[in-house]
C-alpha cells in the first residue's frame, strides 16, 4: 500500500466530474481530502491523500492527465516561507499535525514537514510574520 499526497488543479471542464467516485470505483483507491476550493473562474483546487497499489495510483494519475487535471506532488496548498520564519514558535501549538515543529532542540529552529500538513490553515492566522500562506485563500 502506497500513499501519495497531491495538489490537484482542475480546469473548468473538469470541475463538475465525479473524480472521487472514479478513484474509488475504477482504481480501488482510498481518498482523504484535506481541502478543496472552486474559484469564481471555475478553476478547482484540491489537496488530498490517495492510498492504494502503485499500479492503481499510476493508472489514476493517467486518468487525471486525460481529464486535464494538473498534478503537483511537490507543492501543498500551504506554503511556508523559511526566510520569513523567525522560529518564534507561535504556530506550533496551533498546528494539530506537528507539520510545524521544532525538530532540532540544539538550534530550536522551526521546520515545516509538508507530508504531515493537513491544510487546516491555523498557522496562517497565528503567524505574526506572515510566513504561512495558502493557495486556498490566495487565489481569487
Ligand atoms: S495548515 Fe495546519 S497542519 Fe498545515 S502547517 Fe499549518 S497549522 Fe499545521
Ligand atoms: S509563527 Fe511564523 S515565524 Fe513563528 S515559528 Fe511559526 S511560521 Fe515561524
pLDDT tens digit sequence for 71-105:
987 777 899 999 999 999 999 999 999 999 998 88
- Return the CATH number of 78-138, one of 2.60.40.10, 3.40.630.10, 3.40.50.980, 3.30.70.20: 3.30.70.20
% of the chain beyond a pLDDT of 70: 97
Give the number of the atom of ligand 2 that is nearest the alpha carbon of residue 100. Answer: 6
Smallest Cα–Cα separation from 19: which of 46, 43, 54, 53?
Answer: 46
Does the CB atom of residue 62 touch ligand 2 within 6 A? no
Higher pLDDT, 51 or 20: 51
- Return the CATH number of 2-72, one of 3.40.190.80, 1.10.10.10, 3.30.70.260, 3.30.499.10: 3.30.70.260
User: In the β-sheet with 70-72, what is the strand arrangement from edge to edge?
Assistant: 30-38, 44-52, 2-10, 70-72
CA–centroid distance, 112 to ligand 1, in Å, is 9
Strands 100-104 and 109-112: antiparallel
Q: Kindly compute the dihedral angle of the four CA atoms of residues 37, 2, 67, 25, in this order, to the nearest 10 degrees.
A: -90
CA–centroid distance, 6 to ligand 2, in Å, is 24
Contact 50, 31 (CB under 8 A): yes
Amino acid at each position: 500500500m502506497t500513499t501519495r499526497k497531491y495538489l490537484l488543479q482542475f480546469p473548468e471542464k473538469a470541475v463538475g466530474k465525479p473524480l472521487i467516485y472514479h478513484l474509488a470505483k475504477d482504481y480501488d483507491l482510498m481518498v482523504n481530502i484535506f481541502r478543496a476550493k472552486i474559484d469564481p473562474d471555475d478553476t478547482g483546487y484540491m489537496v488530498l491523500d490517495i492510498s492504494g497499489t502503485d499500479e492503481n495510483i499510476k493508472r489514476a494519475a493517467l486518468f487525471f492527465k486525460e481529464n486535464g487535471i494538473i498534478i503537483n506532488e511537490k507543492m501543498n496548498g500551504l506554503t511556508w516561507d523559511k526566510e520569513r520564519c523567525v522560529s518564534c514558535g507561535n504556530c506550533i501549538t496551533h498546528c494539530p499535525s506537528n507539520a510545524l515543529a521544532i525538530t532540532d532542540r540544539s538550534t530550536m529552529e522551526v521546520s515545516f514537514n509538508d507530508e504531515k500538513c493537513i491544510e487546516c490553515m491555523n498557522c496562517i492566522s497565528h503567524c505574526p510574520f506572515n510566513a504561512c500562506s495558502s493557495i486556498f485563500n490566495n487565489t481569487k
